[in-house]
Chains A and B, each alone.
Chain A
Amino acid sequence: MNGSKTRQIKTLYVYELRKIVCRRIVWITGGIMLLLCVSLSFVDLISTSSDFGEGNEEIVVSGYEMMKIRRECARALSGRKIDGSLLQEMQDFSRGEGMKRESQDVDPATGIVVSVEPGETDAERGAGAEEETDAKEETDAEGDGDAKEEADVKTEPEDIWDRLWAAQKYTPIRIYVYRIMGYGDGKTMDAAGLYSEREKLIAQNREDQMLKQEEMEYWKKNDAGLELPFTYEYAEGWGELWNQSYVVNCMLLLLLLVSLSNVFSMEHQQKTDAVILCTRHGKRELYIAKVLAGITFGAAAALLLSGITLLSDLAVYGADGFGGALQIEFPLSSWRMSVGESVLVLFFMLLAISAMYSIVILFLSEWLKKGVSVMAILVGIMTFTLFIDIPFQLRTLSQVYDLLPTNLLMPWGLWDDRLFSVFGGYLTQFEAAPVMYALLSAVLLFLGRRIWQKQQVGV
């Protein structure tokens, strides 16, 4: 392609981008999506409140206040290895000060403190709480001079913040332990037991995923490179994006459907195809310009939606912990990278997905020649993949199904250890997906170009 044609494509590309961006519906949809992205980070903080009681006194704080307290506690613990010593400290604290004030548990899924009202029975609190009560009684009976001294200081805090902060001191570690152990032995667990339980869960996970021996070997070698014990880092701001990735992915698809589904079909519906297809560059260069404009818009939308979501997360939770181990946020993951690096992978995957979405939408737009039909088909697929899951027993089918852009960006993808064998090597799901998207894109671009160039007006 000579320089003149490249310049023509460039000019046409700018015009095609303008055609996409100039539509009011694109701005309205984009605005709504951005608002939703921002609200993803805040919605939990507004809707959740946590109670903390002391004797008959009950303190109610908003989810945001509680998050701030936890954040400060987590920051104080950042850089500490999650080893026997830290776990012991946590348990001692629970038996001492924590038990004196109030028995409380933390929901491992949400990290929300579950208060236990005075007079509530052990049976009501569950099995895990029984051990906690035993430990409390033991502590009360034996007495611990140091702990009591510390407790005395903490029981007369200056204000609500200090009292809450004191109670939440080890909550981040407790949440981490609960993520692995559940409610069971969390309060008495030692480091060896904790990491062995993690390995047990991972092994069970791999068995469920029906991994072959070669895949097991692959992960065994990989796991050997993980440095234990993990060092705690507060990285909620980065990790939260993984939890929101599915919603961001859906919003991206909807925005691209609204914006790109008529890139080609518009030419047929507005009858501009007759004048553009008989121009010098109307068949080849215009097709390239339209595809490039569509992909660019898709990439920009992906970066904007995920970028705004990440910025909101960082604004709320803080930007700490970029270099923290991914296993702190997602204990079952075997990826050897930091949580921040995993977010970069997430961004890259979103870009690959946006390109895939754009190309599929552009192809359907040219093939079906009706924007509404394109939307109907892809929203249908999105809904289907939302409700239908293919079990691991159908190994190949489920593995390929999970590569679909609408299925790929889930937090549990971080501990999906199924591999694709390619020319003797192995690719993880996140490595295989861009390759598959590239191949599929090439086929669709080729077919789309043929349809565009063979287009007959008035048939």
Chain B
Amino acid sequence: MELILDRVTKQFRNKIAVDRISLRLHPGVYGLLGANGAGKTTLLRLICGILRCDSGTVSLDGLDVSTEEYRAGLGYLPQDFGYYPEFTGMDFLVYMATLKGLARSQAGRRAAELLELVSLGDMGRKKIKTYSGGMKQRLGIAQALLNRPRLLILDEPTAGLDPKERARFRNLIGEAGKEGIVILSTHIVSDIEQIADTVLMMKDGRLIFQGEWQEGQGDLEKFYLEQFEDGGLYQKMNESGKESGGNL
């Protein structure tokens, strides 16, 4: 299984949100780090196909991002997770499961299973508008997992979760990463440290670091902050980019 991003670019008016990013990802958990406005969410939306690239391509095992087959293997939890207040948690999951192509009976079983998994089993019959922020976030995680995705995209998934829930969530992600590709975007460096096999760092729409992070390599947060200071990777890339005509 391989997700290929080939010189993917997205520009909004005068701002280049994603600047010629190329990646080849294989099963595992990828932690995407970057400051606000670095282009993380835009990159994830491009991978999900809900934003169109201005140039470049995204494909999973040869399937273009615009195809139904690509979307069939995708699970996505957006940063601002939207829901239908009048639906119950169970209704919402069955509806989403249907959208993801699960048969009705299968959808019901899978929805019940996931509600238990995210500790919402007893809340499944209640309307979502009565849920707390953390519950809604867990419901969002559940919907992303409905179709056992080969490619799971999570944008700030641990926002609003308490420490216990975060621990449970990390286990979930770890399991998903064994069989598929999980890309996790967050500001919480410790989450990445504990879950991610590979760290991706973005700044100003560009990928400034891609590599594995082992325990012996030290503090990831410190490393992360260093990259944006003078002499860090970003500055080096810019200098190198200028010398080579800006085409890193």
Contacts and interface: CB of A to CB of B under 8 A. Distances in A.
A273 B95 CA distance: 14
B63 interface: no
Nearest to A15: B95
B101 A19 contact: no
B82 A275 contact: yes
A281 B52 contact: no
Nearest to B12: A459
B74 interface: yes
B57 interface: no
Nearest to B85: A270
B130 to A, nearest CB: 15
Contact of B50 (A284, A285, A456): A456
Interface stretch (A6-14, A44-52, A109-117, A227-235): A6-14
Nearest to B69: A280
Interface in B9-45: 12, 41-42, 45
A23 B86 contact: yes
Interface residues of A, number: 34
Given A11-B104, A277-B50, A282-B71, 10 more contacts: A271-B78, A276-B99, A278-B50, A278-B76, A280-B72, A280-B99, A281-B98, A454-B52, A457-B50, A459-B12
Interface string B73-116: 01011101111101000010001101111011000000000000
A393 interface: no
B86 A275 contact: no
17 contacts: A12-B95, A12-B98, A22-B86, A267-B82, A272-B82, A272-B84, A274-B45, A274-B82, A275-B76, A275-B143, A277-B49, A278-B48, A280-B68, A454-B52, A455-B50, A457-B45, A459-B51
A279 B78 contact: no
A286 interface: yes
A458 B41 CA distance: 10
Contacts of B99: 12, 276, 279-282, 285-286
Contact of A271 (B72, B80, B103): B80
Given A22-B86, A275-B96, A458-B51, A7 B78 contact: no
Top 3 closest pairs, chain A to chain B, by CB: A271-B82, A272-B82, A279-B99
Nearest to A8: B98
A280 B71 contact: yes
Contacts of B12: 459
Contacts of B82: 267, 270-275
